[in-house]
């Protein structure tokens, strides 16, 4: 939704109103409208360390989160212990284009199958990064997965 500001200043007709359209201030892409998700450097698919200090989004506050430049996984991780947690959560669907605006998607918790528990999330493509409106998970030691490799990882040349 656009915010409109009406000004009474028009040099040709002092009684006419001029409309100026401004971008919405509730855009989740703006830094003031999202939080950084915790433990981002450990939420990648190849992080199989989940025994001592598993990441948990059980007490996550439902709001918009910035998760760096690595998007949420769009396929299930290869194993249960992934993304620094015991029960990883991935997004079942495609990532949106910037022109799509805010989209609804299904997030899946992996357990016995690839999608044993479904959660509703929202996603927005902000151009250079994504933001996600994430609900808390339904049990401890479950967390959302972002990226395949650790931040800053460069694949070796073949």
Q: What is the residue-level pLDDT of the chain in tens, covering all 158 positions?
A: 444 443 445 556 555 555 555 556 899 999 999 999 999 889 999 999 887 789 999 999 999 999 988 899 999 998 889 999 999 999 999 999 999 999 999 999 988 888 989 999 999 999 999 999 999 999 999 999 998 877 777 666 66
Residue 32: phi, psi to the nearest 5?
-70, -15
Tell me, what's the pLDDT at 59?
94
Quick one: 61 exposed, middle or buried, by C-beta within 10 A (0-12, 13-18, 19+)? exposed
CB 44 within 8 A of CB 70: yes
Tell me, what's the pLDDT at 150?
77
Residue 112: phi, psi to the nearest 5?
-75, -35
- Name the one residue in this structure whose structure tokens are 């959560």: 89
Tell me, what's the pLDDT at 6?
39
CB 71 within 8 A of CB 40: no
CB 125 within 8 A of CB 100: yes
Beta bridge partners of 105: 121
């Amino acid at each position: 939704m656009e915010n409109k500001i009406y000004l009474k200043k028009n040099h040709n007709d002092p009684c006419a109103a001029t409309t100026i359209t401004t971008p919405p201030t509730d855009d989740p892409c703006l830094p003031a409208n999202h939080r950084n998700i915790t433990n981002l450097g450990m939420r990648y698919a190849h992080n199989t360390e989940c025994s001592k200090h598993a990441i948990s989004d059980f007490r996550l506050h439902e709001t918009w989160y910035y998760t760096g430049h690595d998007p949420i996984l769009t396929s299930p991780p290869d194993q249960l212990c992934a993304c620094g947690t015991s029960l990883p959560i991935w997004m079942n669907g495609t990532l949106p284009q910037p022109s799509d605006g805010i989209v609804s998607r299904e997030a899946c918790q992996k357990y016995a199958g690839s999608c044993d528990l479904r959660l509703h999330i929202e996603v927005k493509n902000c151009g250079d990064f994504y933001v996600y409106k994430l609900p808390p998970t339904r049990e401890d030691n479950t967390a959302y997965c972002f990226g395949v490799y650790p931040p800053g990882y460069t694949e070796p040349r073949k």
